[in-house]
Structure 1
Amino acid sequence: MNVLVANLAGVKIEADGSVKHYIKAGSRWPMTIGTSRSVDYYPFPFWLAYASALLKRDTKAHVRGLDGVVLDLTSEELFSEIVARKPGLLVVELTSLTLEEDLSFLARIKAATGCAVVVCGNYATVTHRDLAARAEAVDYVARGEYEMTVRDLVNALVDGADLSGVAGLTWRKDGEVAENPARPLLADLDELPFPDRDDFPATIYPDFTLYSPCINILSSRGCPCGCVYCQERHVMYASPKYRVRSGRKVAEEMAWCVERFGARQFYFDDQSFVVNKKHVLDVCREIKALGLTTPWTVMGDAMFVDREMLEAMAGAGCIGMKFGVESADASILKAIGKPLDLAKAKQVAKWCKELGIRTHATFCMGLPGETEETIRKSMAYMEELEVDTAQVSKAVPYPGTPMYEWALKNGYLATTDLARFDGMGDSVMSYPGLSNADIDRWYALFSRRVARKKVLKYLFEPGQSFSIMAEMVRRKGVASLAKSLWTFVRRAF
């Protein structure tokens, strides 16, 4: 059996010639970004890459991976690629943002190749019974944490076995929707192989990249927090359980990536790298034990770290940390389930600065309880926070999250058209006293403040700025640097 694991096309060229670039698998939320055939942000599709690697290791199938997003393929270009590979089984993730287009595309693929289709991911998990019942292009839905489910499905198909024993699978049996029992979360993450970085090219996924090539890596899964907008917490895992890989396994993967791909940096794209102090210290100890000197950055959280942890991270090569603030209003933080101490976040930023760890803080507008006053408070806090860079986004309540159910019940959705639930699009949240148009207007102002902070940072810290710009020139050329600088200045002023 030929199996193709694919991230569906990321480029759509409109009738007027304009370009939409979709970010799909690997992102915490689906979005459109960029106005050209090439953008500077591609999250690594970990779920698909792990599934591909597991299928290659544990099945008799011939398995290939293909990322239509990072390769900047249109649907027509991806269609030709898939048809040429003649898959018997196609494994993809669906997103709510491009659902109908993707289902139409999959129907064309089935008609051209006769392949069976497995759909996975957040939206497929939430709507698994509906997809199995109404979407003729869909043969199977692998729910939640899906790598093992897809592996067991492929082995059952190859062996001609009964599919009723494949945990986590929804499918059609004798014309009726069959929902197999849920699959327990994988207890030992060390059982997984390293993700497939050959068919999903390891060196071309920039994210928090200071030195290229930067390799994305995971050391854990899950998060104990219950943030109401988080799809992974409430859909993919449906659990507060936090699971970790062994420090030795993580360090061995890093060493392998340095040798195999020439990695000059790593980015730990965990939901939060810093939840478990023992785990963090274990990873740092093993990195040093293997003599690794490649710098690394992490997605973290100010609420979990302390000075000792940050010192260990810096000593093992950590040079950057992202962390979410979301809002500077304590009542909003409580409402969304994020136990962040705002004073501690300021302290963490100072510690990082002292230790040479660059910081990037993220904010989110339009969360439950948002008002013009809370937005002003968050903007003021952002400007006081001693971080190197920041970003602001708009809250999007995706199906399956508590925020979606709450917004739907209370009439706070400006639209229920999921094609408009775009992490970089117009706001879909609308409150009494703060409409979706108001949120968009405040977002534009907040974004200018964020850009201004970055420009001023570059001006007043020329040494650090020069090294960043030199690396950008090395990666993308002088023209790209000039374009980026002009964009920042224009946004700021």
Structure 2
Amino acid sequence: MRITFVQGPYESLAVEYLASILKQKGHRISLVIDPQLFNTVYFKNGLLGKFFDLRPWVIKAVIASKPGLVAFSVFTSEYQWALDLARGIKQQNPALPIVFGGFHPTSVPEVVIKQKSVDIICIGEGEQAFVELVKSLSGKRSNYRIKNLWFKKDGRVIKNEIRPLLEDLDQLPFPDKDLFFSQLPFLSKYYLMMATRGCPYRCTYCGNHVKAKIYRGKGKYLRIRSVANVIQELVKAKRKYPRLKMISIPDDILPLNKPWLREFIKQYRRKIKLPFLCYTHPRYIDEEIARLLKEGGCFWLNMGLQTASEKNRLTLLHRVETNDEVREAVRCCHQVKLKFSLDHIFGIPFEGEKEYVEGLKFYNELRPSWINVFWLVYFPKTEIIKLGKKAGYINAAVEKQINEGQISTCCTLQIGSDTQDISRTQQGEFKNFALLYTLLPLIPRKLMAQIIKKKWYRKIPDVSSGVFFLAKLVARLPIHQVYLYTSELTKTVWLAREVIRKKWLNKSN
């Protein structure tokens, strides 16, 4: 049976794992990518977006692949885009089954299953469920009792329970990278992989607590692959993709287990020897971990912080690290000259100029290599929505829009477009402080102290999205030139060139 996945211009590990396991079972896989030029959460421009709109071509390419099943892996920011394509596919072939999986259907399945263009939804991890679904669709009798799946049948919805989590991640085949690399060759310069699934924390703004709640009583939520399995995947990748320049490991917290990390770095230094970036939590950094990461080739370590207010981190975000623990983690990174970034979220309920200034002071003390600035995104069913209601930002109508994926889910600033769910006054305040946070690593400590003392941050004019983007680009250049391999700008330029040359219209597999 042929399964056709439809994706935006982003590599998806979920799709790669599904493709790999389905190929093992003898099924054929196609991938149709919508370039979404100038219409993504990072680059949005109405005029250019319409000019480069290839959705009619995407629909034709899906139908031309002659699939037995069409699958979308849907994050909230992609939900309306996926629905639009699903409607177009159904208009061409009403009998073709369409399944939605991913975070959005997992968080609000009751909303997604109501859509006429969606026949099946997958809740949670889908590897085992997809194998059973394709087997059912390939057979003579349909099986509507597949765990993790909801079906439509005879005007009603069949809701199946969640299966236990797969605890041994080593059982999974390695992700099928060729699926994306064949169409987006620039991706082969870096390798995206994950060593863990799950997170030990339940931050109110993060989807992890939504998924953990669904899987309560269904096994261990936080799981880790063996070092041997991870290294085996990377050795194979290094051999297969000679253009490979770096490894990206976006696990929530890579150094969860110190003995595991010791062995991983030992094997990585001996067999891989490529720069890598990874993520951690301030409580999972000490002198030994920082040294191991640096010696292993980590060129960029990302740590979440979200606000400089220790009280707000605990009471509003359920983040337990203290400012002294953050200081110690930062000290360990500076000690071994490990470049690191800190995440900061603007728009947290009940925070304003006072907290933003507090953040300037704290970050000027810490002096990170880079500050990732985000605007708070309210994802469906996350606990932060309750705080948004209490602060007066969210009412029933807005919550409905969140569940429908109709509220902008751009974390920072879009080129040529502003987020839809904040006022002009808040945008101006946010942009001015965001600009200072972004440029802070390049501004001498004493000068930043003067900016804070004399309140010059109030005199910064409202900046355009384009200016802010340039500031981000300039601030990132000193970190490591290899970052440019994964930049949105590089990808957009390449995709635009391919579309203009009409080469993209010949792509899909």
**Which TM-score applies when normalising by structure 1?**
0.78
Map 1:127-276 → 2, pairs under 5 A: 127-132=108-113, 134-201=114-181, 213-235=189-211, 238=214, 241-262=221-242, 263-276=244-257
CA distance change for structure 1 residues 3 and 301 in 2, over 3 Å: closer, same or farther? same
Partner of 1:2: 2
CA shift at 1:443, angstroms?
1.5
CA distance change for structure 1 residues 237 and 64 in 2, over 3 Å: closer, same or farther? farther
CA distance change for structure 1 residues 204 and 375 in 2, over 3 Å: closer, same or farther? farther
- CA–CA separation in structure 2 for the residues paired with 1:252 and 1:238: 32
Among candidates 124, 131, 144, match of residue 105 of structure 2 = 124
Partner of 1:486: none
Among candidates 444, 452, 455, match of residue 431 of structure 2 = 444
CA distance change for structure 1 residues 307 and 466 in 2, over 3 Å: closer, same or farther? closer
Maintained 8 Å contact 1:268/1:298: yes
The number of residues matched between the two structures is 428
CA distance change for structure 1 residues 398 and 61 in 2, over 3 Å: closer, same or farther? same
Partner of 1:402: 383
Among candidates 64, 84, 96, match of residue 115 of structure 1 = 96
CA distance change for structure 1 residues 277 and 203 in 2, over 3 Å: closer, same or farther? farther
Per-residue displacement from partner, 1:151-177 (whole Å, max 9, x unpaired)?
Answer: 221122223344233110001133210
Partner of 1:277: 258
Per-residue displacement from partner, 1:165-212 (whole Å, max 9, x unpaired)?
Answer: 3110001133210001112222111111111211122895989xxxx8
Instruction: Tell me whether 1:76 sits opposite 2:56 in the alignment.
Output: yes
- CA–CA separation in structure 1 for the residues paired with 2:33 and 2:257: 32
- CA–CA separation in structure 2 for the residues paired with 1:205 and 1:300: 29
Among candidates 63, 86, 100, match of residue 66 of structure 2 = 86
CA distance change for structure 1 residues 95 and 283 in 2, over 3 Å: closer, same or farther? same
Instruction: Tell me whether 1:46 sits opposite 2:26 in the alignment.
Output: no
- CA–CA separation in structure 2 for the residues paired with 1:254 and 1:306: 26
- CA–CA separation in structure 1 for the residues paired with 2:148 and 2:486: 45
Per-residue displacement from partner, 1:13-33 (whole Å, max 9, x unpaired)?
Answer: xxxxxxxxxxxxxxxxxxxxx
Indicate the SS of the match to 2:331.
Answer: helix
Instruction: Tell me whether 1:366 sits opposite 2:333 in the alignment.
Output: no
Give the letter for the 2:32 counterpart: L
CA distance change for structure 1 residues 201 and 305 in 2, over 3 Å: closer, same or farther? same
Indicate the SS of the match to 2:282.
Answer: coil
- CA–CA separation in structure 1 for the residues paired with 2:381 and 2:182: 31
Give the letter for the 1:104 counterpart: D
CA shift at 1:406, angstroms?
4.1
- CA–CA separation in structure 1 for the residues paired with 2:241 and 2:272: 15
Question: Any stretches of 5+ residues in structure 1 without a counterpart?
Answer: 11-41, 431-435, 481-493
Indicate the SS of the match to 2:157.
Answer: strand
Partner of 1:420: 407
Question: Any stretches of 5+ residues in structure 2 without a counterpart?
Answer: 39-52, 445-473, 494-509
Map 1:292-303 → 2, pairs under 5 A: 292-303=272-283
CA shift at 1:231, angstroms?
1.3
Per-residue displacement from partner, 1:329-381 (whole Å, max 9, x unpaired)?
Answer: 01211121111222222332232233232111110012243232112111222
Maintained 8 Å contact 1:60/1:155: no
Partner of 1:383: 364
- CA–CA separation in structure 1 for the residues paired with 2:110 and 2:78: 19
- CA–CA separation in structure 2 for the residues paired with 1:474 and 1:140: 33
Among candidates 287, 303, 306, match of residue 323 of structure 1 = 303
- What is the root-mean-square deviation of aligned Cα atoms in Å? 3.2
Give the letter for the 2:286 counterpart: D
Maintained 8 Å contact 2:408/2:421: no
Maintained 8 Å contact 1:94/1:124: yes
Indicate the SS of the match to 1:163.
Answer: coil
- CA–CA separation in structure 1 for the residues paired with 2:122 and 2:388: 27
Maintained 8 Å contact 1:125/1:236: no
Give the letter for the 2:144 counterpart: S
CA shift at 1:437, angstroms?
4.2
- CA–CA separation in structure 2 for the residues paired with 1:323 and 1:474: 19
Bigger relative contact order, structure 1 or 2, given CA contacts below 8 A and separation 6+?
2
CA shift at 1:109, angstroms?
0.8
Give the letter for the 2:27 counterpart: A
Maintained 8 Å contact 1:156/1:163: yes
- CA–CA separation in structure 2 for the residues paired with 1:45 and 1:474: 14
Give the letter for the 1:379 counterpart: L
Among candidates 31, 34, 53, match of residue 65 of structure 1 = 31
CA distance change for structure 1 residues 395 and 181 in 2, over 3 Å: closer, same or farther? same
- CA–CA separation in structure 2 for the residues paired with 1:51 and 1:465: 35
- CA–CA separation in structure 1 for the residues paired with 2:182 and 2:208: 23
Partner of 1:341: 322
